[in-house]
Structure 1
Amino acid sequence: MSDVREAASRYQTTKPLPAGRITFEEFLAWCDEDTRAEWVDGEVIILTPAASKHQKIIMLLSSLLREFALLKNLGEILTAPFLVRLPGTLRRGREPDILFVSNEKLPFLKETYMDGAPDLIVEVTSPESLVRDREEKYVEYEASGVREYWLIDPDRQQAEFFRLGENGRYRTIWPDQNGIYHSEVLPGFWLKVDWLWQDPLPSAIACFKEMGLI
């Protein structure tokens, strides 16, 4: 727990950390909207503050996904801070940047967390989170049945899209020749990857116009 306490001190977490391992229910009781943290096999992991470019990409993607899901009546889009309790023996409470919950899975949405795997998770990486997002969470999301995983790296201007195959393993889905990624869990939704690297970022309205939705 020493590393966790050091991180808490570095990022000015004023909330006292629990001593030793705690249950997920105890973690829920401890955590609040002002504390960004994850629960990993009984330990509390403090998350670092996001950079502005990280936040702007999340805002753009969440706006596009939320309005599309609403327009097509497909389900709900949620953003951090909101926990996902991964199923089975994983013993993980993760806090994705963005998650999509289809209508079929809405019963698994609780007041403060999703009890099970959402259909889509988007993680926008930072230097601190890169290994965790690319390695640990990749394996966890695959094992828990998250159907699509988008990994967006603003520093490298790299976007990777993974889709769960019939064998339960992720396979990489590449954008088409025009640099456009087509989602499977949100039928009809597509994303031009170059939008994410523009400075300044395009507005959601401009993207929707290009998509022919308005």
Structure 2
Amino acid sequence: MSTQTAPHPPRMSWEEFLEWCDEDTYAEWVDGEVILMSPNSTRHQRLLIFLTRLLPEYVERRRLGEMLVAPYLMRLPRSAREPDLLFVTNEHAGRIRATYLDGPADLAIEIVSPESRTRDRREKLREYEEAGVREYWILDPERQQAEFYALAESGRYAPLPMEDGIFRSLVLPGLWLKVEWFWQEPLPSPMSVLREWEVV
């Protein structure tokens, strides 16, 4: 994904941001401020491609909804964030617009880079929690750390447990992941994982 090099106003409305931002721009909008994103590392891209080959296939086969991949904005009350991947259930398909999701995703996935670590773990975690993103995954390939959160009845995020290194999603029924897959070099064959899931 490319970054925007042209000058931009220091502050703009959501409508102005939508007009200014094109499909090749990798940026977020927070309280009227435009935040340009750094290019992704090779490691980040490989993990993103791995997940992009797995999760949409699972969602489509199970007819659960729709997976969307960055650059694609998620409009929240005071910001427009761009998760690496997001999932929208059939129930919330009406939130999908031509260039953004108008409201919280059911699942947001962020692949952490060194420059985004604080933003993903603090700012976005708080924003996603407050907006009602039901499940949030934070994957840090550099530190080989994975965190999974789900909204509790209190409206606050609670960590989701892993058992024997396996994570099971609440939002994607039946989906399980071996966390070690994320750190393998090379990454596992997506087809082999899909076979383990019995979706192909």
Q: Above 0.5 in TM-score? A: yes
Counterpart of 2:6 (choices 8, 15, 35) is 15
CA distance in 2 between partners of 1:28 and 1:114 (Å): 12
Structure of higher CA gyration radius: 1
**TM-score normalized with structure 2 length:** 0.96
Instruction: Give unmatched runs, 5+ long, in structure 1.
Output: 1-10
- Change in CA separation of 1:12 and 1:193 when aligned onto 2, cut-off 3 Å: closer
| Alpha carbons 1:119, 1:147 under 8 Å: kept | yes
CA distance in 1 between partners of 2:193 and 2:3 (Å): 37
Superposition deviation, residue 14 in structure 1: 2.5
Counterpart of 1:195 (choices 141, 163, 181) is 181
CA distance in 2 between partners of 1:159 and 1:60 (Å): 15
| Correspondence for 1:93 | 80
Counterpart of 1:134 (choices 97, 121, 125) is 121
Superposition deviation, residue 167 in structure 1: 0.3
- Percentage of pairs with the same residue: 54
Q: RMSD of the TM alignment (CA)?
A: 1.2
| Correspondence for 1:103 | 90
| Correspondence for 2:16 | 26
SS in 2 for 1:15: coil
CA distance in 1 between partners of 2:149 and 2:176 (Å): 15
Instruction: Give unmatched runs, 5+ long, in structure 2.
Output: none
| Alpha carbons 1:37, 1:95 under 8 Å: kept | yes
CA distance in 2 between partners of 1:142 and 1:101 (Å): 16
**TM-score normalized with structure 1 length:** 0.90
| Alpha carbons 1:85, 1:94 under 8 Å: kept | yes
Count, aligned residues: 199
SS in 2 for 1:121: strand
| Correspondence for 1:122 | 109
Does residue 1:36 correspond to 2:29, yes or no? no
**1:16-57 Cα distance to aligned partner (Å, 9 max, x none):** 212x42111110110012210000100100000000110111
CA distance in 1 between partners of 2:3 and 2:44 (Å): 20
